Structure 1
Protein backbone atom coordinates (compact mmCIF):
# COMPACT_ATOMS: atom_id res chain seq x y z
CA UNK A 1 0.00 0.00 0.00
CA UNK A 2 2.77 2.39 0.94
CA UNK A 3 4.66 1.52 -2.21
CA UNK A 4 1.60 2.30 -4.34
CA UNK A 5 1.17 5.64 -2.60
CA UNK A 6 4.82 6.53 -3.13
CA UNK A 7 4.55 5.54 -6.79
CA UNK A 8 1.54 7.80 -7.27
CA UNK A 9 3.31 10.63 -5.46
CA UNK A 10 6.40 10.17 -7.64
CA UNK A 11 4.24 10.23 -10.77
CA UNK A 12 2.52 13.44 -9.68
CA UNK A 13 5.88 14.99 -8.87
CA UNK A 14 7.25 14.01 -12.28
CA UNK A 15 4.22 15.47 -14.04
CA UNK A 16 4.51 18.62 -11.96
CA UNK A 17 8.22 18.91 -12.75
CA UNK A 18 7.64 18.54 -16.45
CA UNK A 19 4.77 21.02 -16.30
CA UNK A 20 6.90 23.55 -14.48
CA UNK A 21 9.59 23.71 -17.16
CA UNK A 22 9.22 26.49 -19.71
CA UNK A 23 11.70 27.35 -22.46
CA UNK A 24 11.46 30.92 -23.76
CA UNK A 25 12.87 31.50 -27.25
CA UNK A 26 15.58 34.02 -28.07
CA UNK A 27 14.38 37.66 -28.47
CA UNK A 28 11.14 36.77 -26.66
CA UNK A 29 9.72 37.45 -23.21
CA UNK A 30 6.84 35.91 -21.28
CA UNK A 31 4.57 37.13 -18.50
CA UNK A 32 3.60 34.94 -15.56
CA UNK A 33 0.46 35.37 -13.46
CA UNK A 34 0.10 33.79 -10.03
CA UNK A 35 -3.46 33.09 -9.02
CA UNK A 36 -4.74 35.52 -11.64
CA UNK A 37 -2.41 38.44 -10.88
CA UNK A 38 0.78 39.55 -12.61
CA UNK A 39 3.81 38.07 -10.89
CA UNK A 40 6.98 38.23 -13.05
CA UNK A 41 8.66 38.13 -16.46
CA UNK A 42 10.44 35.17 -18.00
CA UNK A 43 13.58 35.79 -20.04
CA UNK A 44 14.90 33.68 -22.96
CA UNK A 45 16.16 30.25 -21.92
CA UNK A 46 15.09 27.66 -19.36
CA UNK A 47 12.53 28.82 -16.77
CA UNK A 48 10.40 27.21 -14.08
CA UNK A 49 6.90 28.00 -12.88
CA UNK A 50 4.77 26.56 -10.10
CA UNK A 51 2.23 24.15 -11.61
CA UNK A 52 -1.46 24.89 -11.02
CA UNK A 53 -0.58 28.18 -9.30
CA UNK A 54 1.38 30.09 -11.94
CA UNK A 55 0.37 30.52 -15.58
CA UNK A 56 2.14 31.98 -18.60
CA UNK A 57 -0.37 34.42 -20.09
CA UNK A 58 1.69 35.68 -23.05
CA UNK A 59 4.98 35.11 -24.84
CA UNK A 60 5.90 37.86 -27.30
CA UNK A 61 8.68 38.92 -29.66
CA UNK A 62 10.68 41.85 -28.29
CA UNK A 63 12.64 42.77 -31.44
CA UNK A 64 11.43 45.16 -34.15
CA UNK A 65 8.31 44.17 -36.10
CA UNK A 66 6.67 45.26 -39.33
CA UNK A 67 3.00 46.18 -39.52
CA UNK A 68 1.53 46.67 -43.00
CA UNK A 69 -1.43 49.01 -43.39
CA UNK A 70 -3.48 48.17 -46.52
CA UNK A 71 -4.64 50.94 -48.92
CA UNK A 72 -7.13 53.28 -47.26
CA UNK A 73 -9.51 55.83 -48.74
CA UNK A 74 -8.76 59.48 -47.95
CA UNK A 75 -9.91 62.91 -49.15
CA UNK A 76 -7.46 65.77 -49.77
CA UNK A 77 -8.01 69.40 -48.85
CA UNK A 78 -9.05 70.14 -52.46
CA UNK A 79 -11.63 67.30 -52.33
CA UNK A 80 -9.71 64.72 -54.36
CA UNK A 81 -10.31 61.06 -53.46
CA UNK A 82 -7.23 58.85 -53.22
CA UNK A 83 -5.88 55.70 -51.60
CA UNK A 84 -2.77 55.50 -49.45
CA UNK A 85 -1.00 52.62 -47.73
CA UNK A 86 1.83 52.52 -45.23
CA UNK A 87 4.29 50.36 -43.33
CA UNK A 88 4.96 50.81 -39.61
CA UNK A 89 8.09 49.53 -37.86
CA UNK A 90 7.55 49.06 -34.12
CA UNK A 91 8.96 47.32 -31.08
CA UNK A 92 7.70 46.27 -27.65
CA UNK A 93 9.78 47.85 -24.89
CA UNK A 94 7.61 46.92 -21.91
CA UNK A 95 5.68 43.67 -22.38
CA UNK A 96 3.70 44.15 -19.17
CA UNK A 97 2.21 47.45 -20.34
CA UNK A 98 1.74 46.17 -23.91
CA UNK A 99 -0.36 43.30 -22.52
CA UNK A 100 -2.29 45.03 -19.73
CA UNK A 101 -2.64 48.64 -20.99
CA UNK A 102 -4.47 47.74 -24.21
CA UNK A 103 -6.45 44.74 -25.37
CA UNK A 104 -4.66 44.34 -28.76
CA UNK A 105 -1.61 46.51 -29.26
CA UNK A 106 -1.18 45.70 -32.97
CA UNK A 107 -4.79 46.58 -33.75
CA UNK A 108 -4.41 49.76 -31.73
CA UNK A 109 -1.37 50.85 -33.77
CA UNK A 110 -3.18 50.08 -37.04
CA UNK A 111 -6.27 52.09 -36.06
CA UNK A 112 -4.13 55.01 -34.92
CA UNK A 113 -2.18 55.25 -38.16
CA UNK A 114 -5.37 55.00 -40.24
CA UNK A 115 -6.88 57.96 -38.39
CA UNK A 116 -3.69 60.03 -38.51
CA UNK A 117 -2.99 59.24 -42.18
CA UNK A 118 -6.47 60.40 -43.23
CA UNK A 119 -6.12 63.50 -41.06
CA UNK A 120 -2.71 64.51 -42.50
CA UNK A 121 -3.83 63.97 -46.11
CA UNK A 122 -7.01 65.93 -45.42
CA UNK A 123 -4.91 68.99 -44.58
CA UNK A 124 -3.05 68.95 -47.93
CA UNK A 125 -3.89 69.57 -51.57
CA UNK A 126 -3.30 66.69 -53.99
CA UNK A 127 0.00 68.11 -55.31
CA UNK A 128 1.29 68.55 -51.76
CA UNK A 129 0.69 64.88 -50.90
CA UNK A 130 3.16 63.82 -53.60
CA UNK A 131 5.76 66.46 -52.74
CA UNK A 132 5.47 66.15 -48.96
CA UNK A 133 5.71 62.40 -48.43
CA UNK A 134 8.76 62.80 -46.19
CA UNK A 135 6.90 65.36 -44.07
CA UNK A 136 3.89 63.02 -43.82
CA UNK A 137 6.17 60.18 -42.63
CA UNK A 138 7.75 62.39 -39.98
CA UNK A 139 4.37 63.68 -38.81
CA UNK A 140 2.94 60.17 -38.52
CA UNK A 141 6.02 58.94 -36.66
CA UNK A 142 5.81 61.77 -34.13
CA UNK A 143 2.06 61.34 -33.54
CA UNK A 144 2.21 57.55 -33.32
CA UNK A 145 5.13 57.60 -30.93
CA UNK A 146 3.24 59.97 -28.65
CA UNK A 147 0.00 58.00 -28.93
CA UNK A 148 1.55 54.62 -28.14
CA UNK A 149 3.88 55.72 -25.35
CA UNK A 150 1.58 54.43 -22.60
CA UNK A 151 1.35 51.03 -24.32
CA UNK A 152 5.00 50.17 -23.72
CA UNK A 153 5.87 50.17 -27.43
CA UNK A 154 8.19 52.25 -29.58
CA UNK A 155 7.38 53.31 -33.17
CA UNK A 156 10.75 53.36 -34.93
CA UNK A 157 9.78 54.27 -38.49
CA UNK A 158 6.73 55.00 -40.67
CA UNK A 159 6.76 54.82 -44.47
CA UNK A 160 3.84 55.90 -46.67
CA UNK A 161 4.41 53.69 -49.73
CA UNK A 162 1.81 54.58 -52.37
CA UNK A 163 -0.54 57.51 -52.83
CA UNK A 164 -2.90 56.68 -55.69
CA UNK A 165 -5.66 59.06 -56.86
CA UNK A 166 -8.79 57.77 -58.57
CA UNK A 167 -8.46 56.87 -62.28
CA UNK A 168 -10.45 59.92 -63.38
CA UNK A 169 -8.02 62.15 -61.48
CA UNK A 170 -5.01 60.38 -63.05
CA UNK A 171 -6.48 60.85 -66.55
CA UNK A 172 -7.05 64.55 -65.84
CA UNK A 173 -3.47 64.95 -64.56
CA UNK A 174 -2.09 63.30 -67.70
CA UNK A 175 -4.09 65.65 -69.94
CA UNK A 176 -2.87 68.63 -67.93
CA UNK A 177 0.72 67.42 -68.16
CA UNK A 178 0.40 66.92 -71.95
CA UNK A 179 -1.01 70.44 -72.35
CA UNK A 180 1.87 71.85 -70.30
CA UNK A 181 4.41 70.00 -72.48
CA UNK A 182 2.79 71.39 -75.65
CA UNK A 183 2.81 74.89 -74.15
CA UNK A 184 6.50 74.65 -73.30
CA UNK A 185 7.28 73.32 -76.78
CA UNK A 186 5.42 76.23 -78.38
CA UNK A 187 7.31 78.71 -76.21
CA UNK A 188 10.65 77.13 -77.06
CA UNK A 189 9.73 77.08 -80.76
CA UNK A 190 8.80 80.78 -80.67
CA UNK A 191 12.02 81.61 -78.86
CA UNK A 192 13.99 79.60 -81.42
CA UNK A 193 12.26 81.41 -84.31
CA UNK A 194 13.00 84.79 -82.76
CA UNK A 195 16.66 83.87 -82.28
CA UNK A 196 16.87 82.59 -85.88
CA UNK A 197 15.40 85.82 -87.22
CA UNK A 198 17.88 87.81 -85.16
CA UNK A 199 20.79 85.78 -86.54
CA UNK A 200 19.45 86.12 -90.11
CA UNK A 201 19.05 89.89 -89.73
CA UNK A 202 22.61 90.18 -88.47
CA UNK A 203 23.88 88.13 -91.41
CA UNK A 204 22.00 90.41 -93.87
CA UNK A 205 23.08 93.48 -91.91
CA UNK A 206 19.46 94.58 -91.63
CA UNK A 207 17.34 95.84 -88.79
CA UNK A 208 14.96 92.99 -87.73
CA UNK A 209 12.14 95.56 -87.54
CA UNK A 210 12.85 97.19 -90.90
CA UNK A 211 10.63 96.97 -94.00
CA UNK A 212 13.52 95.54 -96.04
CA UNK A 213 13.89 92.59 -93.66
CA UNK A 214 10.14 91.99 -93.75
CA UNK A 215 10.24 91.93 -97.55
CA UNK A 216 13.02 89.34 -97.42
CA UNK A 217 11.05 87.11 -95.03
CA UNK A 218 7.91 87.26 -97.19
CA UNK A 219 9.92 86.37 -100.30
CA UNK A 220 11.62 83.50 -98.44
CA UNK A 221 8.30 82.08 -97.27
CA UNK A 222 6.93 82.39 -100.81
CA UNK A 223 9.84 80.44 -102.29
CA UNK A 224 9.55 77.72 -99.58
CA UNK A 225 5.81 77.41 -100.14
CA UNK A 226 6.24 77.01 -103.90
CA UNK A 227 8.97 74.43 -103.37
CA UNK A 228 6.72 72.34 -101.12
CA UNK A 229 3.85 72.73 -103.58
CA UNK A 230 6.05 71.47 -106.42
CA UNK A 231 7.10 68.41 -104.38
CA UNK A 232 3.48 67.46 -103.63
CA UNK A 233 2.06 64.59 -105.82
CA UNK A 234 -1.19 66.57 -106.11
CA UNK A 235 0.50 69.83 -107.08
CA UNK A 236 -0.71 71.89 -110.06
CA UNK A 237 1.25 74.34 -112.19
CA UNK A 238 -0.03 77.90 -111.72
CA UNK A 239 1.31 80.67 -113.98
CA UNK A 240 1.41 84.14 -112.46
CA UNK A 241 2.66 87.43 -113.77
CA UNK A 242 5.94 87.94 -111.85
CA UNK A 243 5.53 91.74 -112.09
CA UNK A 244 2.05 91.53 -110.62
CA UNK A 245 3.34 89.23 -107.88
CA UNK A 246 6.11 91.69 -107.07
CA UNK A 247 3.61 94.55 -106.82
CA UNK A 248 1.29 92.42 -104.68
CA UNK A 249 4.04 91.56 -102.23
CA UNK A 250 5.27 95.15 -102.05
CA UNK A 251 1.77 96.51 -101.46
CA UNK A 252 1.15 93.81 -98.83
CA UNK A 253 4.25 94.91 -96.94
CA UNK A 254 3.42 98.61 -97.32
CA UNK A 255 -0.10 97.99 -96.06
CA UNK A 256 -1.88 99.01 -99.32
CA UNK A 257 -4.68 96.92 -100.83
CA UNK A 258 -3.84 95.08 -104.02
CA UNK A 259 -6.52 94.89 -106.76
CA UNK A 260 -4.69 92.60 -109.17
CA UNK A 261 -5.17 95.07 -112.14
CA UNK A 262 -2.37 96.76 -114.12
CA UNK A 263 -2.31 99.75 -116.45
CA UNK A 264 -0.92 99.67 -119.99
CA UNK A 265 2.58 100.37 -118.67
CA UNK A 266 2.49 97.26 -116.48
CA UNK A 267 1.98 99.23 -113.26
CA UNK A 268 -0.63 97.99 -110.84
CA UNK A 269 -3.62 100.22 -110.30
CA UNK A 270 -5.59 100.85 -107.08
CA UNK A 271 -9.27 101.35 -106.43
Structure 2
Protein backbone atom coordinates (compact mmCIF):
# COMPACT_ATOMS: atom_id res chain seq x y z
CA UNK A 1 0.00 0.00 0.00
CA UNK A 2 2.83 2.37 0.76
CA UNK A 3 4.41 1.75 -2.60
CA UNK A 4 1.09 2.25 -4.39
CA UNK A 5 0.53 5.48 -2.53
CA UNK A 6 3.99 6.73 -3.42
CA UNK A 7 3.50 5.73 -7.06
CA UNK A 8 0.12 7.46 -7.19
CA UNK A 9 1.53 10.66 -5.72
CA UNK A 10 4.45 10.54 -8.13
CA UNK A 11 2.05 10.16 -11.06
CA UNK A 12 0.03 13.15 -9.81
CA UNK A 13 3.21 15.19 -9.50
CA UNK A 14 4.23 14.23 -13.05
CA UNK A 15 0.78 15.22 -14.36
CA UNK A 16 1.01 18.51 -12.47
CA UNK A 17 4.35 19.20 -14.11
CA UNK A 18 3.10 18.00 -17.47
CA UNK A 19 0.00 20.20 -17.71
CA UNK A 20 -0.06 24.03 -17.63
CA UNK A 21 -3.08 26.34 -17.70
CA UNK A 22 -2.32 29.96 -18.62
CA UNK A 23 -4.98 32.44 -17.48
CA UNK A 24 -6.66 34.80 -19.91
CA UNK A 25 -5.04 37.90 -18.40
CA UNK A 26 -1.43 36.74 -18.65
CA UNK A 27 1.31 35.10 -20.69
CA UNK A 28 3.88 32.56 -19.48
CA UNK A 29 7.56 32.50 -20.47
CA UNK A 30 8.86 28.91 -20.70
CA UNK A 31 12.51 27.93 -20.28
CA UNK A 32 13.88 24.53 -21.25
CA UNK A 33 16.94 23.52 -19.29
CA UNK A 34 17.55 27.18 -18.38
CA UNK A 35 17.20 28.46 -21.96
CA UNK A 36 14.29 30.44 -23.37
CA UNK A 37 11.93 28.17 -25.30
CA UNK A 38 8.65 30.01 -25.96
CA UNK A 39 5.93 32.33 -24.70
CA UNK A 40 2.66 30.57 -24.02
CA UNK A 41 -0.60 32.36 -24.65
CA UNK A 42 -3.70 31.84 -22.46
CA UNK A 43 -5.04 28.30 -22.60
CA UNK A 44 -4.09 24.65 -21.81
CA UNK A 45 -0.52 23.53 -22.58
CA UNK A 46 1.74 20.44 -22.06
CA UNK A 47 5.26 20.66 -20.70
CA UNK A 48 8.09 18.19 -20.40
CA UNK A 49 8.42 17.48 -16.69
CA UNK A 50 11.76 18.42 -15.11
CA UNK A 51 12.88 19.93 -18.46
CA UNK A 52 10.46 22.78 -19.07
CA UNK A 53 9.56 25.32 -16.45
CA UNK A 54 7.58 28.56 -16.19
CA UNK A 55 10.28 31.19 -15.72
CA UNK A 56 8.09 34.35 -15.81
CA UNK A 57 4.45 35.31 -15.83
CA UNK A 58 3.39 38.72 -17.12
CA UNK A 59 0.05 40.47 -16.76
CA UNK A 60 -1.12 41.57 -20.23
CA UNK A 61 -3.70 44.02 -18.91
CA UNK A 62 -3.09 47.76 -18.83
CA UNK A 63 -1.17 48.65 -15.68
CA UNK A 64 -1.19 51.94 -13.79
CA UNK A 65 2.01 52.93 -12.00
CA UNK A 66 2.22 55.83 -9.56
CA UNK A 67 5.11 58.19 -10.21
CA UNK A 68 6.18 59.71 -6.85
CA UNK A 69 6.48 63.48 -6.46
CA UNK A 70 9.88 64.90 -7.31
CA UNK A 71 11.54 68.30 -7.45
CA UNK A 72 11.87 69.88 -10.91
CA UNK A 73 13.32 73.18 -12.13
CA UNK A 74 11.44 75.03 -14.87
CA UNK A 75 12.98 77.09 -17.65
CA UNK A 76 12.60 80.30 -15.60
CA UNK A 77 14.39 78.70 -12.60
CA UNK A 78 11.25 77.98 -10.57
CA UNK A 79 11.24 74.96 -8.26
CA UNK A 80 8.22 72.66 -8.65
CA UNK A 81 7.00 69.45 -7.05
CA UNK A 82 5.49 67.22 -9.77
CA UNK A 83 3.92 63.76 -9.58
CA UNK A 84 1.91 61.70 -12.05
CA UNK A 85 0.60 58.38 -13.33
CA UNK A 86 2.02 56.24 -16.13
CA UNK A 87 -0.15 53.72 -18.00
CA UNK A 88 1.65 50.83 -19.73
CA UNK A 89 1.05 47.37 -21.13
CA UNK A 90 3.26 44.33 -21.76
CA UNK A 91 3.46 43.68 -25.50
CA UNK A 92 6.31 41.14 -25.68
CA UNK A 93 6.74 38.65 -22.80
CA UNK A 94 10.24 37.65 -23.87
CA UNK A 95 11.62 41.22 -23.91
CA UNK A 96 9.81 42.03 -20.68
CA UNK A 97 11.51 39.05 -19.07
CA UNK A 98 15.02 39.31 -20.50
CA UNK A 99 15.27 42.89 -21.76
CA UNK A 100 15.25 44.45 -18.30
CA UNK A 101 15.21 43.26 -14.73
CA UNK A 102 12.08 45.12 -13.52
CA UNK A 103 10.18 46.99 -16.21
CA UNK A 104 7.81 48.58 -13.69
CA UNK A 105 10.59 50.19 -11.68
CA UNK A 106 12.38 51.15 -14.88
CA UNK A 107 9.23 52.76 -16.30
CA UNK A 108 8.68 54.83 -13.14
CA UNK A 109 12.30 56.02 -13.02
CA UNK A 110 12.26 56.80 -16.74
CA UNK A 111 9.03 58.76 -16.30
CA UNK A 112 10.63 60.81 -13.52
CA UNK A 113 13.78 61.66 -15.48
CA UNK A 114 11.79 62.43 -18.64
CA UNK A 115 9.40 64.62 -16.66
CA UNK A 116 12.29 66.62 -15.18
CA UNK A 117 13.78 67.06 -18.64
CA UNK A 118 10.51 68.17 -20.27
CA UNK A 119 9.57 70.59 -17.47
CA UNK A 120 13.03 72.15 -17.78
CA UNK A 121 12.05 73.20 -21.33
CA UNK A 122 8.95 75.12 -20.15
CA UNK A 123 8.35 78.20 -18.06
CA UNK A 124 6.17 78.11 -14.95
CA UNK A 125 3.08 79.45 -16.71
CA UNK A 126 3.55 77.00 -19.60
CA UNK A 127 3.64 74.00 -17.24
CA UNK A 128 0.10 74.90 -16.09
CA UNK A 129 -1.36 75.91 -19.45
CA UNK A 130 0.23 73.20 -21.61
CA UNK A 131 -0.28 70.02 -19.61
CA UNK A 132 -1.57 68.09 -22.60
CA UNK A 133 1.51 68.90 -24.67
CA UNK A 134 3.72 68.05 -21.70
CA UNK A 135 1.98 64.68 -21.23
CA UNK A 136 2.35 63.86 -24.93
CA UNK A 137 6.05 64.72 -24.87
CA UNK A 138 6.66 62.53 -21.83
CA UNK A 139 4.75 59.59 -23.37
CA UNK A 140 6.68 59.91 -26.62
CA UNK A 141 10.08 59.94 -24.88
CA UNK A 142 9.24 57.08 -22.48
CA UNK A 143 7.77 54.94 -25.25
CA UNK A 144 10.85 55.43 -27.39
CA UNK A 145 13.20 54.41 -24.55
CA UNK A 146 11.05 51.48 -23.34
CA UNK A 147 10.65 49.79 -26.72
CA UNK A 148 13.52 47.28 -26.03
CA UNK A 149 11.71 46.26 -22.83
CA UNK A 150 8.69 44.83 -24.65
CA UNK A 151 6.26 47.27 -23.06
CA UNK A 152 4.07 49.98 -24.55
CA UNK A 153 3.53 53.26 -22.70
CA UNK A 154 -0.06 54.22 -23.45
CA UNK A 155 -0.29 57.59 -21.72
CA UNK A 156 1.06 59.72 -18.93
CA UNK A 157 -0.96 62.03 -16.72
CA UNK A 158 0.45 64.74 -14.45
CA UNK A 159 -1.50 64.73 -11.18
CA UNK A 160 -0.15 67.74 -9.32
CA UNK A 161 2.20 70.62 -10.05
CA UNK A 162 3.03 72.31 -6.76
CA UNK A 163 5.35 75.35 -6.68
CA UNK A 164 7.32 76.14 -3.56
CA UNK A 165 5.79 78.30 -0.81
CA UNK A 166 7.80 81.35 -1.89
CA UNK A 167 6.69 80.94 -5.51
CA UNK A 168 3.04 80.57 -4.42
CA UNK A 169 3.33 83.80 -2.40
CA UNK A 170 4.86 85.57 -5.40
CA UNK A 171 2.14 84.26 -7.71
CA UNK A 172 -0.56 85.46 -5.31
CA UNK A 173 0.96 88.95 -5.33
CA UNK A 174 1.20 88.84 -9.12
CA UNK A 175 -2.45 87.79 -9.46
CA UNK A 176 -3.51 90.51 -7.02
CA UNK A 177 -1.57 93.10 -9.01
CA UNK A 178 -3.13 91.80 -12.23
CA UNK A 179 -6.62 92.05 -10.74
CA UNK A 180 -5.89 95.59 -9.52
CA UNK A 181 -4.61 96.47 -12.99
CA UNK A 182 -7.75 95.10 -14.62
CA UNK A 183 -9.92 97.05 -12.15
CA UNK A 184 -8.05 100.29 -12.88
CA UNK A 185 -8.36 99.71 -16.63
CA UNK A 186 -12.08 99.04 -16.23
CA UNK A 187 -12.54 102.23 -14.16
CA UNK A 188 -10.53 104.24 -16.68
CA UNK A 189 -12.62 102.90 -19.54
CA UNK A 190 -15.80 103.72 -17.60
CA UNK A 191 -14.61 107.28 -16.89
CA UNK A 192 -13.62 107.68 -20.53
CA UNK A 193 -17.04 106.48 -21.67
CA UNK A 194 -18.74 108.81 -19.17
CA UNK A 195 -16.72 111.80 -20.39
CA UNK A 196 -17.52 110.93 -23.99
CA UNK A 197 -21.21 110.64 -23.18
CA UNK A 198 -21.11 113.92 -21.23
CA UNK A 199 -19.36 115.76 -24.06
CA UNK A 200 -21.79 114.28 -26.56
CA UNK A 201 -24.67 115.46 -24.37
CA UNK A 202 -23.20 118.96 -24.05
CA UNK A 203 -22.60 119.06 -27.78
CA UNK A 204 -26.15 117.96 -28.49
CA UNK A 205 -27.44 120.49 -25.98
CA UNK A 206 -25.48 123.30 -27.65
CA UNK A 207 -26.79 122.20 -31.04
CA UNK A 208 -30.36 122.16 -29.72
CA UNK A 209 -29.94 125.61 -28.12
CA UNK A 210 -28.46 127.06 -31.28
CA UNK A 211 -31.23 125.51 -33.35
CA UNK A 212 -33.80 126.95 -30.92
CA UNK A 213 -32.16 130.40 -31.01
CA UNK A 214 -32.02 130.24 -34.79
CA UNK A 215 -35.70 129.30 -34.98
CA UNK A 216 -36.53 132.05 -32.48
CA UNK A 217 -34.74 134.67 -34.56
CA UNK A 218 -36.41 133.39 -37.70
CA UNK A 219 -39.80 133.61 -36.01
CA UNK A 220 -39.03 137.09 -34.66
CA UNK A 221 -37.85 138.22 -38.10
CA UNK A 222 -40.96 136.82 -39.67
CA UNK A 223 -43.10 138.59 -37.02
CA UNK A 224 -41.26 141.89 -37.53
CA UNK A 225 -41.61 141.58 -41.28
CA UNK A 226 -45.32 140.83 -40.91
CA UNK A 227 -45.68 143.80 -38.52
CA UNK A 228 -43.89 146.14 -40.92
CA UNK A 229 -46.02 144.88 -43.78
CA UNK A 230 -49.23 145.45 -41.79
CA UNK A 231 -48.11 148.94 -40.69
CA UNK A 232 -47.06 149.77 -44.24
CA UNK A 233 -50.42 148.62 -45.55
CA UNK A 234 -52.22 150.62 -42.87
CA UNK A 235 -50.20 153.73 -43.66
CA UNK A 236 -50.79 153.21 -47.35
CA UNK A 237 -54.53 152.87 -46.71
CA UNK A 238 -54.46 155.93 -44.44
CA UNK A 239 -52.62 158.00 -46.98
CA UNK A 240 -55.01 156.80 -49.63
CA UNK A 241 -57.93 157.93 -47.49
CA UNK A 242 -56.20 161.30 -46.80
CA UNK A 243 -55.55 161.83 -50.48
CA UNK A 244 -59.18 160.96 -51.23
CA UNK A 245 -60.34 163.41 -48.56
CA UNK A 246 -58.09 166.15 -49.97
CA UNK A 247 -59.59 165.68 -53.40
CA UNK A 248 -63.03 166.54 -52.03
CA UNK A 249 -64.04 170.25 -51.96
CA UNK A 250 -62.92 171.84 -48.72
CA UNK A 251 -60.62 168.93 -47.91
CA UNK A 252 -57.50 171.08 -48.03
CA UNK A 253 -58.95 173.59 -45.58
CA UNK A 254 -59.98 170.79 -43.26
CA UNK A 255 -56.46 169.33 -43.36
CA UNK A 256 -54.91 172.71 -42.66
CA UNK A 257 -57.27 173.23 -39.75
CA UNK A 258 -56.41 169.77 -38.30
CA UNK A 259 -52.70 170.43 -38.66
CA UNK A 260 -53.09 173.74 -36.89
CA UNK A 261 -54.96 172.10 -34.06
CA UNK A 262 -52.33 169.37 -33.68
CA UNK A 263 -49.55 171.96 -33.75
CA UNK A 264 -51.19 174.09 -31.10
CA UNK A 265 -51.83 171.02 -28.85
CA UNK A 266 -48.21 169.86 -29.13
CA UNK A 267 -46.91 173.34 -28.38
CA UNK A 268 -49.15 173.54 -25.35
CA UNK A 269 -47.88 170.17 -24.03
CA UNK A 270 -44.28 171.21 -24.59
CA UNK A 271 -44.74 174.51 -22.81
CA UNK A 272 -46.57 172.86 -19.92
CA UNK A 273 -43.87 170.22 -19.27
CA UNK A 274 -40.75 172.18 -20.23
CA UNK A 275 -38.70 173.87 -17.47
CA UNK A 276 -37.20 176.41 -19.88
CA UNK A 277 -39.41 178.54 -22.10
CA UNK A 278 -38.20 178.48 -25.66
CA UNK A 279 -41.06 180.53 -27.10
CA UNK A 280 -43.36 183.05 -25.47
CA UNK A 281 -46.06 181.54 -23.35
CA UNK A 282 -48.70 183.57 -25.08
CA UNK A 283 -48.04 181.49 -28.13
CA UNK A 284 -49.83 178.62 -26.44
CA UNK A 285 -53.02 180.70 -26.48
CA UNK A 286 -52.97 180.99 -30.22
CA UNK A 287 -55.55 178.19 -30.42
CA UNK A 288 -58.21 180.54 -29.13
CA UNK A 289 -57.09 183.21 -31.52
CA UNK A 290 -57.36 180.86 -34.49
CA UNK A 291 -60.77 179.67 -33.35
CA UNK A 292 -61.98 183.21 -33.17
CA UNK A 293 -60.60 183.99 -36.54
CA UNK A 294 -62.25 180.90 -37.96
CA UNK A 295 -65.66 181.97 -36.63
CA UNK A 296 -65.24 185.47 -38.07
CA UNK A 297 -64.27 183.94 -41.37
CA UNK A 298 -67.38 181.74 -41.42
CA UNK A 299 -69.58 184.73 -40.50
CA UNK A 300 -68.18 186.84 -43.28
CA UNK A 301 -68.55 184.01 -45.76
CA UNK A 302 -72.17 183.58 -44.77
CA UNK A 303 -72.91 187.25 -45.38
CA UNK A 304 -71.32 187.24 -48.78
Q: Same fold (TM over 0.5)?
A: yes
Of the three residues 113, 116, 136, the one matched with 2:114 is 116
Deviation of residue 5 (structure 1)?
A: 6.0
Find the aligned partners of 2:160 and 2:31 in 1 and give their Cα distance.
43
Find the aligned partners of 1:194 and 1:7 in 2 and give their Cα distance.
105
CA 1:70 to 1:11, structure 2 compared with 1: closer, same or farther past 3 Å? closer
* Ranges in structure 2 where 5+ consecutive residues have no aligned partner: 206-304
> If the length of structure 1 is used for normalisation, what is the TM-score?
0.70
* Ranges in structure 1 where 5+ consecutive residues have no aligned partner: 208-271
Deviation of residue 138 (structure 1)?
A: 1.3
Deviation of residue 8 (structure 1)?
A: 4.4
Rg comparison, structure with higher value: 2
SS at match of 2:127: helix
> If the length of structure 2 is used for normalisation, what is the TM-score?
0.63
SS at match of 2:173: helix
Matched length: 205
Q: Write out aligned runs for 1:217-228 (5 A).
A: none
CA 1:7 to 1:133, structure 2 compared with 1: closer, same or farther past 3 Å? closer
Higher helix fraction (1 or 2): 2
Alpha-carbon contact 2:90-2:96 (below 8 Å) kept: yes
Of the three residues 138, 152, 157, the one matched with 2:150 is 152
Deviation of residue 7 (structure 1)?
A: 6.2
Find the aligned partners of 2:76 and 2:35 in 1 and give their Cα distance.
53
Alpha-carbon contact 2:17-2:50 (below 8 Å) kept: no
Find the aligned partners of 2:73 and 2:52 in 1 and give their Cα distance.
51
CA 1:187 to 1:11, structure 2 compared with 1: closer, same or farther past 3 Å? closer
CA 1:13 to 1:197, structure 2 compared with 1: closer, same or farther past 3 Å? same
In the alignment, which residue of structure 1 is the partner of 2:229?
none
Of the three residues 60, 66, 71, the one matched with 1:62 is 60
Please list the CA deviations of residues 3-58 of structure 1 after superposition, one character each: whole Å capped at 9, or x if unmatched.
97676444422221123332221121101111111112222232232222221111
In the alignment, which residue of structure 1 is the partner of 2:189?
191
SS at match of 2:186: helix
In the alignment, which residue of structure 2 is the partner of 1:260?
none
